[in-house]
Amino acid sequence: MLILLVILSVSLIPLPIVAERVISIEKTLPTESIKLMQVFSDLKVYPQVLPENIKSSTILNEEGNLAKMSFNLEFISIDADIKYLSPSPNEVILEIVSGDLKGTKFTGILSEIKDSQGKVITLVETSLDLKISWYLSLVTTFITDENIESMLNNALQEFSNYANNPQSTQIINSEKEKTCFLFWCW
């Protein structure tokens, strides 16, 4: 009877359904914004852009703005449906619409600027509204905001590298990343 009472008491405690964090960064990339937008919008190339982090990407509709992706983390794999939106020519939104990261939204605003030599480069202002299921949040409690910022920086750099030279991503680094989350590693 006492055990039943304890179980009932614990089950009545409201558990958080989702843990939420918002991380924002700005990064200047040596790439024209139109090239970056082309790579961001092509969900099927994400495994080539981030091969250590994304195992697969299958397009789910003909417009190509919804894909089922499988993320490879060091310790687990996560499957999720990712929706791509571009409300304006310089804005990217990636939203996870299913799975343990449902509701997570990455927003990027791209602005072309000129560097000191007059070459066109892109300033990317990003915001990651990260929503994690309560049980996945237990596994990822050690990941700090600084770790996520580093992962965002690395991922944006890889998108820039791919946009500038898609063939270069076929060369795989022999050094493995140590810690991964979503599709970013540090």
**pLDDT tens for each residue of 79-105:** 999 999 999 999 999 999 998 889 999
**pLDDT tens for each residue of 68-81:** 999 876 667 889 99
Does any domain span residue 8?
no
Torsion angle (degrees, nearest 10) of CA 80, 83, 84, 86? -150
Under the banding of pLDDT at 50, 70 and 90, the label for residue 163 is very high
pLDDT reported for residue 177: 46
Phi first, then psi, for residue 34 (nearest 5°) are -65, -35
CATH for 97: 3.30.530.20
Range of the domain at 143: 14-185
pLDDT reported for residue 173: 41
Across the range 164-170, mean pLDDT stands at 70
Q: How far apart are CA 161 and CA 42, in angstroms?
A: 15
> Tokens 């991922």 — which residue?
155
Q: Does position 116 have pLDDT exceeding 50, yes or no?
A: yes
Does any domain span residue 122?
yes
Does any domain span residue 72?
yes
* Domains of the chain: total: 1
Q: Which amino acid is at 5?
A: L
Does any domain span residue 1?
no
Across the range 102-112, mean pLDDT stands at 95
Q: How far apart are CA 59 and CA 55, in angstroms?
A: 14
Does any domain span residue 5?
no
pLDDT reported for residue 13: 45
Half-sphere exposure of 96 (CA within 13 A, CB side): 23
pLDDT reported for residue 144: 82
**pLDDT tens for each residue of 4-59:** 444 444 444 444 455 688 999 999 999 999 999 999 999 999 999 999 889 999 99
Does any domain span residue 177?
yes
Does any domain span residue 102?
yes
Does any domain span residue 7?
no
**pLDDT tens for each residue of 120-153:** 999 999 999 988 887 777 667 777 889 889 989 9
Q: How is residue 45 annotated by DSSP?
A: G
